[in-house]
Structure 1
Amino acid sequence: MDKIKNKIRPVFPFTAIVGQEEMKLALILNVIDPKIGGVMIMGDRGTGKSTTIRAIADLLPEIEVVDDDMFNSHVSDYDLMSDLVKQQIESKLNVKTHFIKVPMVDLPLGATEDRLCGTIDIEKALHEGVKSFEPGLLAKANRGILYVDEVNLLDDHLVDILLDSAASGWNTVEREGISIRHPARFVLVGSGNPEEGELRPQLLDRFGMHAEIRTVKDPSLRVKIVEQRAQFDQDPYGCIQEYSDKQQELKDIIIKAQKNLMNVVIDYDLKVKISQICGILNVDGLRGDIVTNRAAKAFAAYQNKDEVDIEDIKTVITLCLRHRLRKDPLETIDSGDKVSDVVSEILS
C-alpha cells in the first residue's frame, strides 16, 4: 500500500458516486463507443461534474502504446497510430510497447491554438531539414479523454478545432508550407453552467450526447454524499480499497461491452422509429439519428445483449436529442420532456 501511495494520486471511485445517473451513463456509453461523439454535461456548480469525469478515466483499463511515441500510438490499429509508427511497421521493424493509464487531459480556459494543436519549429525545419513538432493537448489526448470545463466560456474558434478533431480523429498543423498530422481520437467531454451562457446551437449539435444534472434535493441523499466525500478526504486509500471489487466489476463489464459492440444489431423497424421521432421533433441533419443508433447499440452491449430493444432506445434517446431541438424562447416545456412525449407516443 505504501508503494501505491507514493505513485498514485488518489481519485474518487466512480462506483462510489451517488446519484447523477444520467451523466454516469452518458460517460460509460462514450467510453464503450467513442464514435458516439462525446458528451456535454450542463448543470449547477458543485454537482460533481469534474469528480465524475476524472473517476471514469481512472476506472478504464490500461492501454498499450508504442514506446517513445508522442501520440500514444496503437500498435496494430492504423487509425490510431502516427505516420512514423506506420512506416516502422511497414518496414517490418520491431516496435516495442508498454502500458499506460488512459490519458485524461484538461483543456484550460486560457489555452491558445498552439497549446491545443501543437507547434512546428520552423527554424529547425529550414536550417536542419527536420520536421520538429512540439505536440499539443490533442496529441496527448489521443485514445483518452479530453475534458473542457466551462466549455461555454471557451473561445468559439478553439471549440471548432476541438469538434473537428473529435469528429475526424485527426489533427493537422500547417505552418509556412510545412504540414504535420497525427491521430487525435478521444472522448470529448465538456461541462458548463447554463447560467454562464449557452453554447452556439451548431456547436452543441456536434456533441453526441447532452446530460443535464441538478443539485440533489433529498436531504438523506445529500448527507450520504457529504459523508462519503468526508470519508474519502480522511482516508482516500481506504475508500478506494472499499470499492475495489465494484470498480473491477464495472471495468470488466465495460471491456466486455467494447469487445461485443461490433456484434450488436438493431432491427430495421427500430431504426425507422428512431428516424420518425427525429422527424417529428424537427431535428436538423442526421446526426441525431446516427448518434441514437450508436448509443442504443452501446447500451445493449453494456447489458451484454446482442440486439437492441425498445427499452434501450427509450433509455438513451433523450440524451442524444434534447440539445438538437430548435429553441423557442416563448416555449415553457423542457426539451427533454418534449423528446419523452414523442418517444412514448412512437415507441408505445
Structure 2
Amino acid sequence: MVSLSATNQDVRPVFPFTAIVGQDEMKLALILNVIDPKIGGVMIMGDRGTGKSTTIRAIADLLPEIPVVADDMFNSHPSDLELMGDEVRNLIRKQEAVETRFIKVPMVDLPLGATEDRVCGTIDIEKALMEGVKTFEPGLLAKANRGILYVDEVNLLDDHLVDILLDSAASGWNTVEREGISIRHPARFVLVGSGNPEEGELRPQLLDRFGLHAEIRTVKDPTLRVEIVEQRSNFDQNPQSCIESYKDQQLDLKQKIIDAQSNLKNTNLDYEFKVKISQVCSELDVDGLRGDIVINRAAKALAAYEGRTEVTVQDIKKVVTLCLRHRLRKDPLESIDSGVKVAKVFDQIFEGS
C-alpha cells in the first residue's frame, strides 16, 4: 500500500479560524458538527456581511487531512467499509492493495442555480445500454463525501433540492436511478446552510432537519468592530504573515478537535439528564424526537471538546438553544424570542440540578 501526502496544492490562503472575532455561537455549532457529524449539520441565519462564509471556509481549512483511496471519485476511506464506494469495497474484500493519499477535508459550495443532476450526478444511459457499462459522472454530493457541503442562501434554494441534501446527509448515501439503472455511493458530509432571515425562512419541515440553528447579528460594539476590520485588513495585505501569527493557536485547536473526535465514544450522559432533556422538549411542545437526540449528541460533543468524559448541566445549557430554537412552533402573536423561551424552560426544569 503506497501512501502519498497531498503537497503543492495551489489553493487560496484561508482566513484563520482562531483569528475570527466574535460570532461564538456560529463557531461552536461548526466545531460540534465536525466532532460529531451525526448531529446533522447547522443552519446559520444572520445579517449580510457578518462573516458566515469566511467562518465556514476557515473551519474546513483547520481540520486535519483525511486518508482517501487515490483516484477515487467518492473520497473513499481506505479501511472503513461504511465510507467506501462499491468498487473500492470489492477491492478491499478481495484483499487487493489500494493506493492511498491524504487530502484536505473537502469543502464544496453548492450554487443556487444547481440542477438535480449537478447535485446528485448522472448515469450515461447510452453507454449503459449499448456497452453494458455503468458510467457515472459524479455530482456535488460525491465530491462532498467526508467533508463539508455549504449552501449559501439555502432559504432561496428549491425545496426539492433541500430535501435531497437533507436525505443524503441523514442517510449517508446518495442513490441515482435512471431508466432502471441504479448507482449508490457514500455521501457523508456536514451540511451547512446560511441565509438572511429578511429573504424568507425555510419551511418548518426542512428547518427541523438541521441539527443546530445558529443566529448571528452584526457586532454593535465599536471597539470590537475596529478589531474585526483591522484583522481583515491585515489578512488582505499579507495573508501569509497573518496565517503564521495564528499558527500555534490553529494547531492547538486542531489537536483539541482531533482529541474530541477520538474521545467522543467514551463520553457519558447521565440518565437523569436525558430525562430532563426530554422534559424540556415536551414542555416546549417540540414535534418528534429529533430535538432530544440532537441535544444528547451536541452535549456529549461539547463535553469531549472540553476534555471531559461526563456531560454537565452547563454543557446542556450551552447547546440547548442551538438545538431547539428552530423546532418551536411559530406563534405570530407571541413577542418572546424563541431562544429566550428555550432558556426559560430549561432553567425551570434543570433548576437545582
TM-score when scaled to structure 2?
0.97
Amino acid at match of 1:214: R
Does 2:302 match 1:299?
A: yes
Secondary structure of 1:9's aligned partner: coil
Does 2:112 match 1:112?
A: no
Q: What corresponds to 1:323 in structure 2?
A: 326
TM superposition shift of 1:8: 3.1
Does the C-alpha gap of structure 1 residues 229 and 144 become closer, same or farther in structure 2, counting only changes over 3 Å? same
Q: What corresponds to 1:102 in structure 2?
A: 105
Structure 2: distance between partners of 1:6 and 1:207: 32
Structure 2: distance between partners of 1:342 and 1:6: 50
Structure 2: distance between partners of 1:78 and 1:330: 51
* Selected match of 1:167 from 152, 164, 170: 170
Does 2:216 match 1:213?
A: yes
Secondary structure of 1:55's aligned partner: helix
Amino acid at match of 1:155: D
* Selected match of 1:231 from 228, 231, 234: 234
How many residues align? The count is 345
TM superposition shift of 1:9: 1.1
Does the C-alpha gap of structure 1 residues 263 and 40 become closer, same or farther in structure 2, counting only changes over 3 Å? same
Does 2:126 match 1:149?
A: no
Amino acid at match of 2:340: D
Identity %: 79
Q: What corresponds to 2:75 in structure 1?
A: 72
Q: What corresponds to 1:204 in structure 2?
A: 207
Structure 1: distance between partners of 2:91 and 2:312: 45
* Selected match of 2:263 from 260, 263, 285: 260
TM superposition shift of 1:79: 1.4
Report Cα offsets for 1:283-314 as digits up to 9, x if no partner.
00000000000000000000010111111000
Report Cα offsets for 1:44-75 as digits up to 9, x if no partner.
00000000000000000000000121000011
Structure 1: distance between partners of 2:113 and 2:216: 25
Q: What corresponds to 1:278 in structure 2?
A: 281
TM-score when scaled to structure 1?
0.98
Does 2:38 match 1:35?
A: yes
* Cα RMSD, aligned residues only: 1.0
Secondary structure of 2:269's aligned partner: coil
Structure 2: distance between partners of 1:116 and 1:42: 23
Amino acid at match of 1:288: G
TM superposition shift of 1:76: 1.5
User: Unmatched 5+ residue regions in structure 1?
Assistant: none
Q: What corresponds to 2:195 in structure 1?
A: 192
Structure 1: distance between partners of 2:79 and 2:213: 32
Report Cα offsets for 1:115-137 as digits up to 9, x if no partner.
00000000110111100000000
Amino acid at match of 2:20: I
* Selected match of 1:45 from 45, 48, 65: 48
Does the C-alpha gap of structure 1 residues 6 and 261 become closer, same or farther in structure 2, counting only changes over 3 Å? closer
Does 2:94 match 1:91?
A: yes
Does 2:317 match 1:314?
A: yes
Report Cα offsets for 1:93-143 as digits up to 9, x if no partner.
111100000000000000000000000000110111100000000000000
Does 2:120 match 1:128?
A: no
Amino acid at match of 1:156: D
Structure 1: distance between partners of 2:82 and 2:9: 36
Does 2:272 match 1:288?
A: no
Q: What corresponds to 1:246 in structure 2?
A: 249
Amino acid at match of 2:47: D
